[in-house]
Amino acid sequence: MGQVALSFVIPAYNEEVFIEDTLGTLDLAVKDKSLSYEVVVVDDGSIDNTFTKALKYARRNGHVKVVRYARNTGKGFAIKTGFMKATGDVVVFVDSDMEIGLNTISKYVKALENGDIVIASKWHPNSRVSMSLGRRILSRTFNLLVRLLINANLKDTQVGLKVMKRSAVDRIFPRLAVKRFAFDVELLAVARLYGLKVVEMPVDLTLEASFKTKEAWRMFVDLLGIAYRLRVTHWYQRQIPIKNTNSL
């Protein structure tokens, strides 16, 4: 058993404007659930006052801990670091910009009764999503590539809200290699190798920030790397005692 019922992992890079509001909003969303919980903030080498502000909040709230390293390494590495530091029986990853409505957290945790990992999906029939046409097209295109290259039968992999059982965390995260952009895909690919059940849930989501072409290209390169390790070198399979890899 973990030390707390629920752990939240929040990666942050240059989020000085939002980080304290993020933590305050998260506390308001969770405190009335009568759960023991912690929040792990991972400062991914920020060059602004993200660490100072997060630490200030943590000093006033003992359930918050802040992890920091000097060099910006990538969102995937930050999330892996946070998950490995978390102690909860259930671990939640949530984006620090809080574009996702957190009133759904209790539903996601409850959904673990029917699976090992619960992920938010923009394309769930009950999701309410606001985003530009360009971003919508990019999301659909990337998901198609994921299905073709990774053989992952999921409608969406990239929303910044994922909830996992401790048993799934302990199996998956030591095996992950992607440090930056396509870590979600790698996480779910490894979960599939283990035969873990992934449940997709609806989400209320507003995506206002534009998506940079450079980031899209890096995600594609990461995706190719995952496909290469999965299908050509079988690197993941060598890392894991797997029984059900016939479909890969």
Instruction: Write out the DSSP string of 152-215.
Output: ---S-S--SEEEEEHHHHHHHGGG----SS-HHHHHHHHHHHTT--EEEE--EEE--SPPPHHH
pLDDT tens digits along 155-207: 899 888 899 999 999 999 988 999 887 899 999 999 999 999 999 999 888 87
Average pLDDT over residues 197-225: 85
Q: What CATH number has the domain bearing residue 42?
A: 3.90.550.10
Whether 104 is in a domain gets the answer yes
Give the whole-number percent of the chain exceeding pLDDT 90: 56
As given in the structure block, the two tokens for residue 50 are: 């993200």
Whether 192 is in a domain gets the answer yes
Q: Around 104, how many Cα atoms within 13 Å sit in the side-chain half-sphere?
A: 24
- Tell me which residue of 160, 127, 129, 201 sits closest to 8, measured CA to CA: 160
Q: What is the pLDDT of residue 245?
A: 46
Q: What is the pLDDT of the chain when averaged over all its residues? A: 87
The domain of 61 spans 6-239
Whether 244 is in a domain gets the answer no
As given in the structure block, the two tokens for residue 188 are: 């779910």
The phi and psi torsions of 204 (rounded to 5 degrees) equal: -95, 120
Q: What is the pLDDT of residue 213?
A: 76
Please state, in angstroms and rounded to a whole number, the distance separating the CA atoms of residues 35 and 29.
11
Whether 43 is in a domain gets the answer yes
**Of all helices (H) and strands (E), which one includes residue 23?**
helix 19-31
Residue 115 DSSP symbol: -
Whether 246 is in a domain gets the answer no
Whether 245 is in a domain gets the answer no
pLDDT tens digits along 99-124: 565 567 888 989 999 999 999 999 99
Please state, in angstroms and rounded to a whole number, the distance separating the CA atoms of residues 100 and 144.
23
Please state, in angstroms and rounded to a whole number, the distance separating the CA atoms of residues 55 and 33.
25
Whether 116 is in a domain gets the answer yes
Whether 204 is in a domain gets the answer yes
- The residues near 12 (Cβ < 8 Å, ≥ 6 apart) are 19, 41, 42, 43, 44, 46, 50, 54, 78, 96
Question: Reading across the β-sheet that carries 90-94, which strands appear in turn?
Answer: 64-69, 37-44, 6-12, 90-94, 161-165, 117-120, 198-201
Domain count, the chain: 1
